[in-house]
Structure 1
Amino acid sequence: MHVYLTTAAAVWGLVTGGFALPRAAYRLSVEPDLPWRDARGWLGRGPGGVPLAVVCAVACAAVALRVGARPELGVWLLLVPAGALMARVDLAVLRLPDVLTLPAGAVTSAGLGVCALLPGHGGSWPRALLGGAALFTLYFLLHLINPAGMGFGDVKLAPALGMALGWYGWGAVLAGTLAGFALGAMAGLTLLALRRADRKTAIPFGPFMLLGALGGVLLAAGW
């Protein structure tokens, strides 16, 4: 069962990452206050399709292998491609568009609410909502303290990640959040050591938030 489920998830990630996301990534990768790039529709091939396909396939397969046939797997398989798209845009232009972050929060909340009504689920919906609120509060405070270091797009992404982690427990929230900060710090120090950045260089934090949350979910799903 796990083999078929993992294979199906990998194929889902390959298809979404390779054929559904690249054009959207191209259109959304513009500086703030600029209109989206013109293209024929939002779904379809575009630049960077192969990396997106590989990332989505690997991440979806890993989640399916770890979570198994629990109801929440459907929510994760929607969030993984969305997260890959957000990371791609953030890396390109240092922004997390509202058109991605806000629906991600809504889908996570509603999807996990439905999962909580189904047999065999592995988490708690009320705790997920509290986790989303906690992570939003943390990132909002960090934004107030240092707006240049913590963009408001990161703040808007935080609720979705907090809910995903909170679904499995407060230990997952802590682990996933700390992992994101640790990965971001390691990347920053590496760039400084290689002289590819200085203390004033802006570094996209969204990809590290997403990687940390993915790691937290993978770790906690088997608890």
Structure 2
Amino acid sequence: MYATLIVVAALWGAAAGLFVPRAAYRLSVEPEEPWRERCPDGHPLVGPGRGWLGAPGRRACATTTSPLLAPLLTAAACAVLAAATGGPRPELVVWWLCAPFAVLLACVDVRVHRLPDGVTLPLAAAVPLLLGGAALLPYGAGSWTHALLGGLVLGGAYGVLALINPGGLGLGDVKLALPLGAALGWYGWGVLFLGAFAGFLLGAVYGFGLVLLRRADRSSAIPFGPFMLTGGLLGLALGAFTAVP
């Protein structure tokens, strides 16, 4: 059962990750620019009224230089969470559903240093609602109350940091902190603190490395979303591994 769960997680992640490159290409624009409507070859990215989500697309319509990177990252994240959870807990389905959107946000942030509202705000609403459903099912290993409070606490903390240092954190980071805090808070305050701290630590190490390599200075902006999400993954994995249903 354990090995089967990990295989299912990896297959789901790989399949869901196929949809990420095209969506990332569509959303990777500057704040004042509209979402891209066509691929580099001129073909429509999505049908009328379908928003930013489109099919994986044809090889000739490739919208990224590494079309397999997103599926591999999503598969790895889902497999890690399945391995840490160790069983078919209801919150694991929530993590699997959120994983491709986390990879999507990371891809967009790396490219254009922004986290689009069209993804962060729906996640901010969906994660607490999905966890509320998970809390009603047996074998859950978390607290919905802590999830709600976690979202408010981490979102509020990021909001304060953004006010203190607007150049260091953007509003997209604040909005991402809401669903991330809810997910981490599901497993308790210790996991919330660890996941948030890991994100800051990873971002600091990356920024310091760029300064040492003279590829940036102390005032250079870096995409912080990927580090927030990686720290969140580490926190969730530890929380899932240590939680008792």
TM-score when normalising by structure 1: 0.97
**Residue 80 of structure 2: aligned partner:** 62
Residue 218 (structure 2) aligned to one of 192, 199, 205: 199
> Counterpart of 1:52 in structure 2: which amino acid?
A
The runs of 5 or more residues in structure 1 that have no matched partner are: none
SS at match of 1:221: helix
Give the aligned residue type for 1:22.
Answer: P
Kindly report which structure 2 residues correspond to 1:1-223, keeping only aligned pairs within 5 A, or say none: 1-17=1-17, 19-39=18-38, 40-41=45-46, 42-45=54-57, 46-47=63-64, 48-67=66-85, 68-223=87-242
Runs (4+) off by over 2 Å? none
Q: Contact 1:22 / 1:43 at 8 angstroms: preserved in 2?
A: no
Deviation at 1:5, TM superposition (A): 1.0
The CA deviation string for residues 127-177 of structure 1, in whole angstroms up to 9 with x for no partner, is 100000000110000000011110000000001010111000100001001
CA-to-aligned-CA distance 1:8-61 (integer Å, 9 cap, x gap): 1101111111x2111100000011110001132123143132111111111111
Count of matched residue positions in the alignment of Structure 1 and Structure 2? 222
Output the TM-score relative to the length of structure 2: 0.89
Q: C-alpha root-mean-square deviation of aligned residues, in Å? A: 0.9
Q: Is the 8 A contact 1:22 1:44 kept in 2?
A: yes
Question: Can you list the C-alpha shifts for 1:45-101, whole angstroms capped at 9, x where unaligned?
Answer: 431321111111111111111112100011000111110000000000000000110
Name the aligned partner's letter for residue 54 of structure 1. Answer: L
| Counterpart residue identity of residue 28, structure 1 | L
Q: Distance in 2 between matches of 1:142 and 1:158?
A: 12
- Return the alpha-carbon distance in structure 1 between the equivalents of residues 234 and 124 of structure 2: 19
Unaligned runs of 5+ in 2: 39-44, 47-53, 58-62
**Aligned counterparts of 2:26 and 2:241: Cα–Cα separation in 1:** 37
Identical pairs, percent: 52
Paired residue for 2:50?
none
